[in-house]
Each structure stands twice: as structure tokens, then as C-alpha cells.
């Protein structure tokens, strides 16, 4: 690991000023950043430790019915907050389907939003990677790419965004509050991320010094609480990144879907909101035919970036499954294997 | 910046002057404090052998910068027994053959202590397995580990009931 200067500012404004210096990076828990630094993928000159900044570790229930989550709230604390889990069950399920208990105890909300892709070529400093070293090419494009993107990719980069948490968040219109050199601003989480185009090294719209201080969910999230699921297919049941995931939320009245939210993970460089599918679902009957039409619409623009044509059909089936489970209703208790399509009756072996 | 930190490790205050901000909590425990019970497996947060409790929560010490944890309370495998009396989780790992080579065991035991404290799994083996998924065992002692965690959780609950009765 390259050496670095370590600073621990006492206020948000001091942190922003310190991190605006070129070569700086924010350090929260470091579960992703230290891994990247050990591998030589990230080589910051200066770490600005934000873990002691005051007031960023709270979950607030706002007067208008919205929820505001400080950027330093740990993933496990958010997932296990009873009020939050009841209001946003698909978000809690997504959090608990990701990483390991040790990592969830450490990892923060802000860090989760800004974690880097797990593309193997990005991590391998001997490989060409336009994201890590702009202009060097993309070894993933004709390499081992069965898990890579099927939506929104470019010849320059076919990496996917790794977060589970962000998938239901974009479905629920989450907003991020950002403190920067010009003061406070906010932006829809979906608009935080950029698609790769010709500049895959620019993953989001943040400027030097910008610090995510909080995440906000609008009051409307509660209208989906009764019918919300997160479903995630991975290569092993626990402690693995998504091959494909789907967050589904439905508002059902008298057997009809009044409103729907759908987003996909593991398919693109950003958590992918499937608005054409939502338009089909709204006003339709909650049945298999509707769900399949919605799934077809969600993947209408998909194309394989390599040996991953199978992901397109897999994504459609996961969408149908997630919508079917959401229509049945949010389970009273979190599944023993959160997000797993193989989850069975609690305590019963799923391979039996 | 001053690189001296103060930690409470297994109940004892330790003041350490770091040579370098890159030192992880894991390397500090092993190389500076000679607490080599905490193991360095992958050093990348994937195997769980380095699991310790920081302020009561289990984390991967390989992915924690020591300098960032100034003032924290750390519990390692060396601090869980009371003299010759094993911690109930340690005793349960022996009773249920929860290990073979033993390399992952300190991390497994610290993770299990954290899991029981978190109280999310109940007595469901499926939930115990899921909540232990951050600890790999290359000998494949998983069946014994799951039994040990369930047993230790039960004996700790019984002991707590007796204490509060």
C-alpha cells in the first residue's frame, strides 16, 4: 500500500476543505477503500477520516413521513432498526443480503453508495482497464465477462455497480444530501451515477471535496411497505455479490396494482430503475402475464456485453419472481436467507 | 499528525506510537501487542480469521485502520476466557468438534460471540449458518460450528436467566 497523509477533521466544512485537495479520499469504515489500497487500485495521497464527524450517525423520522439516514449509519444498524425495516422492508432485505455480518457492522451508508465495481479486471492491476487507467482499454470486453453488464454499457467499460442497498433505494426515489465547497445540495440517488460512455473513470457526478452527509427517503416509501421484496441470484447463497437482483414494490388495491416500483442490480454501471416496467404494472392486474410483460419491457434495451446473454432471460425471471413475491406480501419476519430465491421454510434444509 | 493512539485491549489500556498510518488493527494486535491469537488469513475481508469485537461489535480487523480506532475497546480471543475457565463459546467449540486445524477458530469464536450478542438468529440453524457466513473454514467443520453456536447461545441464555432470577 502506498503511504498517505492521515487527517481527521472535526467538522463537515473542515472535511470538505481537506478533501478538496487533489489526491485526497474520504475514509469512513474503509471496508472497500482499504481493500482497493492494499491491491494498489486506489492510491490516495491523503485520507480524510470522516468517522468522527458529529451528527451523521442518526436515523431520523421526519415530520412529513420521510426518513433521513445519516451517511455514517452502519449497514447493520439500519437493517435492524425496527421502524426502518417496517417502513422499507426491501431495503432491509437488500442490506442483509449483502456482504457478511462483520462487514455490515462496519460499512456505512455513504460508503455503500460510493463503493467501486468488483470487475476482476478493475481489481487486477496487470490488466487493461479504462476505469482504473483511462485510455488503456478494457480486458473484460473479450475476457471472463459472464457476470458483466447487459444494460447501459459501452465499448470502454462493461462493469456493473455492486451494491444491493442502492437497488431498492433507486426504486424508492432516494435522495442524497451532499455537502460541497459551494454548500449543501441534494440530488436523486439515480442521478448520482453516470453510465460509462467514453469516460468510465467518472462514475458519479460528485466534485472534489463533495461529501455525502445523508440519504433521504420520501414519505411515499410507506405506501409500498406491505408488498416489497428484494431478490438476488448469486453464485453462492451467502456472502456474494449479485449476478442479478431485483427490488420490487407494489401498491395493490382491490386486486389491481395502483403503483409499482422496480429496479435491477448486477445489470449496469448503476442501479437500474425500470420505469417502462412500472408503467405497464400501474393499473394492471397482479398476475403472471402482467409480470412477464413488465419484465420484457424492463430488459427491452438489454444486449450482452460478452458471454452473458443468459443474464437477460435470468433478469426477466427474477423480475417475475420478485413481483410475484411482492404481490403475495412482505413476510412478517425477514427470510432466514435474505434475498435468496432458494430461501425455504425457516429451519428446513433448502437442498433437501 | 500525531500517530499515537490509545486502545483498551481485553480490558487493559494500551498506548501505541504508530510508525505509519497504514497499520491495520490486525497488524497492530499481532505485531505490536503480540496478540497473535487473531489470525491473518486473506487480509482482504473475505475469510473472517481476523474477526475481533470493537466496542462490542464483530468486525474484520484487517480492513480497519488502527489510527482510525483511537480510543476504541477491543476484545480478542486472548480476552474471552476467565483464567482457566473457558468462555462458553470456546467450551462449545471443543464439545462439538467445531474445528480441525484451528486456524480459523479464533475468528469463528469471536464472530459467534458477536452473533449471540446481536440476537438476530434465534435457535434456527439456517439463520446461524447465514450469520456465520463471514467466517470460512477450509477444514469444513461447519456442522460442528453451527451446533457449537446453538449450544453456547442456549447455555449463555440459561446463565443469564439464573443471574437475573
B48-61 pLDDT, tens digit each: 999 999 999 999 99
Calpha distance A204→A215 (Å, rounded): 16
Note whether B111 contacts A4, CB cutoff 8 Å. Answer: no
To the nearest 5 percent, what fractions of chain B are helix, strand and coil? Answer: 40, 15, 40
The answer to whether residues B141 and B98 touch, using CB atoms and an 8 Å cutoff, is yes
Percentage of chain B lying above the pLDDT 90 cut:
94
Residue A11, classified by CB atoms within 10 Å of its CB into exposed (0-12), middle (13-18) or buried (19+), is: exposed
The segment(s) of chain A belonging to CATH 3.30.390.50 are 224-328
Interface check B127 vs A, CB under 8 A: yes
Query: What tens-digit pLDDT sequence spans chain A (352 residues)?
Result: 999 999 999 999 999 999 999 999 999 999 999 999 999 999 999 999 999 999 999 999 999 999 999 999 999 999 999 999 999 999 999 999 999 999 999 999 999 999 999 999 999 999 999 999 999 999 999 999 999 999 999 999 999 999 999 999 999 999 999 999 999 999 999 999 999 999 999 999 999 999 999 999 999 999 999 999 999 999 999 999 999 999 999 999 998 999 999 999 999 999 999 999 999 999 999 999 999 999 999 999 999 999 999 999 999 999 999 999 999 999 999 999 999 988 655 444 444 3
Q: Which CATH superfamily is domain B4-79 in?
A: Beta-grasp domain (3.10.20.30)
Beta strands in chain A (DSSP E): 5-7, 24-27, 46-49, 59-61, 67-70, 175-180, 183-188, 211-217, 228-233, 244-253, 256-265, 272-273
The pLDDT, as a whole number, for residue A255 is 87
Of all residues in chain A, the one with the smallest CA distance to B131 is A101
The answer to whether residues B38 and B101 touch, using CB atoms and an 8 Å cutoff, is no
Q: Which of residues 89-128 of A touch B (CB under 8 A)?
A: 99-103, 105-106
The answer to whether residues A6 and B67 touch, using CB atoms and an 8 Å cutoff, is yes
The CB-based long-range contact list for A50-59 (8 Å cut-off, 24+ gap) reads A50/A9, A50/A15, A50/A26, A50/A110, A50/A211, A51/A27, A51/B68, A52/A8, A52/A10, A53/A9, A53/A10, A53/A11, A53/A12, A53/A15, A54/A11, A56/A12, A56/A110, A56/A213, A56/A214, A59/A83, A59/A84
Give the other-Cβ count within 10 Å of A69's Cβ: 26
The pLDDT, as a whole number, for residue B165 is 75
**CATH architecture, domain defined by A224-328:** 2-Layer Sandwich (3.30)
User: Hey, which residues does A246 pair with through a beta bridge?
Assistant: A231, A264
Phi/psi for B30 (5° steps) reads: -80, -45
The pLDDT, as a whole number, for residue A345 is 52
> Which candidate in B3, B5, B22, B121 is best for mutational testing of the A interface (most A CBs within 10 A)?
B22
Above 50 in pLDDT, residue B126?
yes
The pLDDT, as a whole number, for residue A343 is 61
Domain B88-164's class? mainly alpha
Minimal Cα–Cα distance from B147 to chain A, Å?
Answer: 13
Above 70 in pLDDT, residue B1?
no
Q: Exposure pattern of A117-135 as b/e (b: 16+ CB <10 Å)? A: bebbbbbbeebbbbbbeee
Note whether B21 contacts A51, CB cutoff 8 Å. Answer: no
**CATH architecture, domain defined by A5-52:** 2-Layer Sandwich (3.30)
Alpha-carbon distance values, A156 to A138, A300, A315, B82 (Å):
6, 22, 23, 58
Domain boundaries, chain B: 4-79, 88-164
> Which candidate in B26, B51, B60, B62 is best for mutational testing of the A interface (most A CBs within 10 A)?
B60
Amino acid at each position: 500500500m502506498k503511504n498517505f497523509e492521515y487527517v481527521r477533521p472535526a467538522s463537515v466544512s473542515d472535511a470538505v476543505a481537506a478533501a478538496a485537495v487533489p489526491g485526497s479520499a474520504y475514509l469512513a469504515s474503509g471496508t472497500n477503500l482499504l481493500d482497493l489500497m492494499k491491491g494498489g487500485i486506489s492510491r490516495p495521497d491523503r485520507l480524510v477520516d470522516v468517522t468522527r464527524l458529529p451528527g451523521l450517525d442518526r436515523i431520523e423520522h421526519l415530520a412529513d413521513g420521510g426518513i433521513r439516514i445519516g451517511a455514517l449509519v452502519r449497514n447493520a444498524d439500519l437493517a435492524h432498526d425496527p421502524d426502518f425495516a417496517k417502513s422499507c422492508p426491501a431495503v432491509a432485505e437488500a442490506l442483509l443480503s449483502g456482504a457478511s455480518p462483520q462487514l455490515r457492522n462496519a460499512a456505512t451508508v455513504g460508503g455503500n453508495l460510493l463503493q467501486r465495481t468488483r470487475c476482476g479486471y478493475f481489481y487486477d492491476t496487470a490488466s487493461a482497464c479504462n476505469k482504473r487507467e483511462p485510455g488503456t482499454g478494457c480486458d473484460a470486453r473479450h475476457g471472463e465477462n459472464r457476470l458483466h453488464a447487459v444494460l447501459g454499457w459501452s465499448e470502454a467499460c462493461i462493469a456493473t455497480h455492486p451494491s444491493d442497498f442502492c437497488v431498492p433505494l433507486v426504486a424508492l426515489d432516494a435522495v442524497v444530501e451532499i455537502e460541497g465547497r459551494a454548500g449543501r445540495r441534494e440530488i436523486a440517488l439515480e442521478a448520482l451515477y453516470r453510465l460509462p460512455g467514453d469516460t468510465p473513470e467518472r462514475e458519479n457526478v460528485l466534485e472534489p471535496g463533495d461529501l455525502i452527509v445523508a440519504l433521504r427517503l420520501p414519505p411515499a416509501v410507506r405506501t409500498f411497505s406491505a408488498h416489497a421484496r428484494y431478490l438476488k441470484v448469486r453464485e453462492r447463497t451467502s456472502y456474494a455479490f449479485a449476478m442479478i437482483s431485483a427490488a420490487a414494490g407494489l401498491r395493490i388495491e382491490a386486486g389491481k396494482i395502483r403503483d409499482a416500483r422496480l429496479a435491477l442490480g448486477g445489470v449496469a454501471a448503476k442501479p437500474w430503475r425500470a420505469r417502462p416496467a412500472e408503467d405497464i404494472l400501474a393499473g394492471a392486474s397482479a398476475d403472471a402475464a402482467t409480470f412477464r410483460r413488465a419484465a420484457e419491457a424492463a430488459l427491452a434495451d438489454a444486449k450482452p456485453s460478452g458471454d452473458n446473454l443468459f443474464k437477460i432471460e435470468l433478469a426477466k425471471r427474477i423480475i417475475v419472481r420478485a413481483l410475484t413475491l411482492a404481490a403475495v406480501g412482505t413476510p412478517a419476519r425477514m427470510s432466514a436467507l435474505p434475498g435468496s430465491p432458494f430461501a425455504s421454510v425457516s429451519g428446513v434444509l433448502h437442498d433437501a | 499528525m500525531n500517530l499515537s493512539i490509545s486502545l483498551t485491549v481485553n480490558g487493559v489500556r494500551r498506548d501505541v506510537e504508530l510508525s505509519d498510518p497504514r497499520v491495520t488493527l490486525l497488524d497492530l494486535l499481532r505485531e505490536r501487542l503480540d496478540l497473535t491469537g487473531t489470525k491473518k488469513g486473506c487480509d482482504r475481508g473475505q475469510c473472517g480469521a481476523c474477526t475481533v469485537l470493537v466496542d462490542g461489535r464483530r468486525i474484520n480487523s484487517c480492513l480497519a485502520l488502527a489510527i482510525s480506532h483511537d480510543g476504541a475497546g477491543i476484545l480478542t480471543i486472548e480476552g474471552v476466557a476467565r483464567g482457566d475457565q473457558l468462555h462458553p463459546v470456546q467450551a462449545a467449540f471443543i464439545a462439538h468438534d467445531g474445528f480441525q486445524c484451528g486456524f480459523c477458530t479464533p475468528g469463528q469464536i469471536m464472530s459467534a460471540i458477536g452473533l449471540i450478542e446481536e440476537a438476530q438468529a434465534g435457535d434456527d440453524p439456517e439463520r446461524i449458518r447465514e450469520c456465520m457466513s463471514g467466517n470460512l473454514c477450509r477444514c469444513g467443520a461447519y456442522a460442528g460450528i453451527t451446533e457449537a453456536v446453538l449450544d453456547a447461545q442456549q447455555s449463555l441464555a440459561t446463565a443469564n436467566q439464573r443471574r437475573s432470577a
